[in-house]
Amino acid sequence: MKFRTVAELVEIAETEQLKISDVMLQMESETMNRSQEEIFTEMGNHLDVMEQAIQRGLTEDVRSHSGLTGGDAKRLQEYKDSATVLLSGPTVLEAVSKATAVSEINAAMGTIVATPTAGACGILPGTISTAAEKLNSDRETKIRALFVAGAIGYTIANNACISGAAGGCQAEVGSATAMAAAAVVEMAGGTPSMSAEAVSIALKNMLGLVCDPVAGLVEAPCVKRNAMGAAIAMVAADMAMAGVKSVIPTDEVIDAMYKIGQSMPVALRETALGGLAATPTGRVLERQIFGTTEKK
């Protein structure tokens, strides 16, 4: 059972009357020559790491070594629990705070799961955990969601890119957002086609996003982009579940992302030479963190 594109993935799932998670689990088993039970257990271990990172980020006083990031996940939780009115609603804000928590743990050199990269590690855990609470999902459903995300990440990695250095932040946070959107659609009982539409809707709204880490660190604006990616994933999933379709097919959106990334100047691809990293404040922070002098 092999697929390379999202269209092929959906076709297999619908023809065989399987979930996307089933297709990915079977392909992984065949490719790795390991039992599905063994692979499922290993994915469960990844889920445990994600959930531990969420818990740490929401309860501990997390701060990165640079001092640029930390504590925002707790602030968001406190705001969610105390504010009279939540403009974005409790569910979206829950996903945002949890995505922030994991990303802050990463910035503080804690243990995370790269999904698909460390720079975008908060989006998938934040959305899956929040959706599971909303839907009263069991552990198996959450693990299956990770296989859905893996299937989408697999297609993006093989047809475009997932690294900021290769394609900008659209390749990292954009891919993670698309993966998460597809995953929560299956969690909510959506069809494989709906998951594909969620990928399109999520990714097209990340096209052109540059990778411009301040001081070259995976902290600012990375943490807040994880937060916004989680919000977009949740909304994209709802849109797809409502029957909203993308005018541009999913695989063409992925191809467009790749071509946009190839067109980006090097200064906007994880080099910290442009974008927010090159702002006056960005340069001041870089000098403060590394003790360097301003270049003439």
- Say what the pTM is: 0.97
What is the residue whose two structure tokens read 């406190």? 78
pLDDT over 90 (residue 122): yes
Q: Where does the pLDDT of residue 296 fall: very low under 50, low under 70, confident under 90, or very high at 90 and above?
A: very low
Distance separating alpha carbons of residues 102 and 99, to the nearest angstrom: 5
The string of DSSP codes covering 105-152 is: HHHTT-----SS-GGGTTHHHHHHHHHHHHHT--HHHHHHHHHHHHHH
78-99 residue pLDDT tens:
999 999 999 999 999 999 999 9
Which residues make Cβ contacts (< 8 Å) with residue 95, sequence separation at least 6? 126, 127, 129, 130, 131, 230, 231, 233, 234
Tell me what the mean pLDDT of segment 18-46 comes to: 98
Query: Which among 270, 250, 235 is positioned nearest to 203, based on CA atoms?
Result: 250
Q: Hey, how many other C-beta atoms are within 10 angstroms of the C-beta on 205?
A: 18
pLDDT digit string, tens, across residues 172-206: 999 999 999 999 999 999 999 999 999 999 999 99
| Whether 123 contacts 229, CB under 8 Å | yes
Number of H helices, E strands in the chain: 14, 0
Phi-psi map region of 211: left, alpha, beta (phi>0 left; psi -120 to 50 alpha) = beta
Q: Is the per-residue pLDDT at 295 higher than 80?
A: no
**Domains defined for the chain, CATH in brackets:** 6-290 (1.10.4100)
